[in-house]
Amino acid sequence: MWGGRFTSKPAELMQAINVSIGFDKRLAEQDLAGSKAHAAMLAKQGVISAEDEVTIQGGLQAISAEMAAGTFPFRDEFEDIHMNVEARLRELIGPVAGRLHTARSRNDQVALDFRLWVREACDRTLAQIQALQGALLAKAEPHAATLMPGFTHLQPAQPVTFGHHLMAYVEMFGRDGSRFADARRRMNFSPLGAAALAGSPFPIDRHATAQALGFDGPLANSLDAVSTRDFALEALAAGSICAINLSRLAEEIVIWMTPQFGFIRLSDAFTTGSSIMPQKKNPDAAELVRAKVGKLMGAFTQLAIVMKGLPLTYSKDMQEDKVGTFEAFDALELSLAAMAGMVADLEPNAERMALAAGSGFSTATDLADWLVRELGIPFRDAHHVTGAAVKMAETRGCELADLPLADLQSLESRITPAIFDVLTPAASVASRRSYGGTSPDQVRAQIARWKDILS
């Protein structure tokens, strides 16, 4: 395949480190699509004859059928997917196969194939994110008023609703989806026709091949076209952030499943047992999702390190861009599917959550707000009075709502019996009516908004 410059085969070690067909065979579909578009353009521009194009397209279609049937003969001797396809095309249609590589290099070919693959991965991931958001919405809607504790520092802070808590993840995954959509928009330009690095002397039409492959246009600089992998880095960065958000939700599922919390139940479908402890029901799916973030962040870091010191344009280092990216998106897609399944499967223990929602003096802020709102006390002074009330309740081993009115009035004489209307978790939640707050009406409004967005 190297022509007249080389007279002997590479050493076995060179072959071992150089060959990539073992992993870049995943680019077969993209490689064939690029070749078909390129052949059609060459014929239209008169670079190859119409007869040659028909022969080439027939051969490519035959290879596509072999790929689909699993009979394509992948061979290490041809190094990568591009040369495997070209060698097989020559076997099927003869010397005319050599015309396909006119005005094209493996440099722009691999840049195209990889860009197409990452673009498709972004599309798949975005669809899965939206499916997960749908599962969260479906679970949040019947629990828009189901009480649970809200936490800061993993300590009870203020009462919220389970629906509101789930809707926080809808927002987070919505931003993840927008990052993938933005990344896709920026990567949607074609490198095909940049050739090795300097462009082509043939009268090619790069806009035509870009359009045929669903791009918004060709990349405007041939050096950049073959050398950049920032599209993959951006997709991996978006994937890493998404995996972090998945890991946070997975961690909460793990915590909520513990007997100490007991907030949710997962069925046998998403849990496993122990080989020695028959009582165990482990949230292994959530734990594995939590762990997958390492693969995403590792792939981003690996590719960033590969690219950071490379001069323009192509270097063989870039062959290391694919394995990590493939594995990262495999992990992300599996994690998104598993999380959507767990969200649909889990059932909250509303009684346990409601009990916890009132613990830890979670309505203390409501007391302070009442003092400000009803008595006109400056918030810092109200904060001091409330702190003293919390200390009093803590000393007596009761909740704020259980303190006698006289005890509260000993701290602030103007307190009236109306204070007890705000000291229950339900009253606290109902009062949080500001936009984006946890009142059930606000939660239902956000659910409706997201239903419209996703539809």
Q: Please list the active-site residues.
A: 153, 274
Q: Which amino acid is at 322?
A: K
Other C-beta atoms within 10 Å of 46: how many?
A: 10
CA atoms within 13 A on the CB side of 31: 24
Inter-CA distances, 374 with 155, 368, 377, 392, 405, Å: 28, 10, 8, 22, 16
Name 138's Cβ contacts closer than 8 Å, sequence gap at least 6: 344
Closest by CA to 118, choosing from 228, 6, 258, is: 228
CA distances from 87 to 18, 174, 363, 442 (A): 18, 45, 73, 63
State the amino acid at position 243 in one-letter form. Answer: A
CB neighbour list of residue 218: distance below 8 Å, 6 or more residues apart:
189, 190, 191, 192, 193, 206, 207, 209, 210, 225
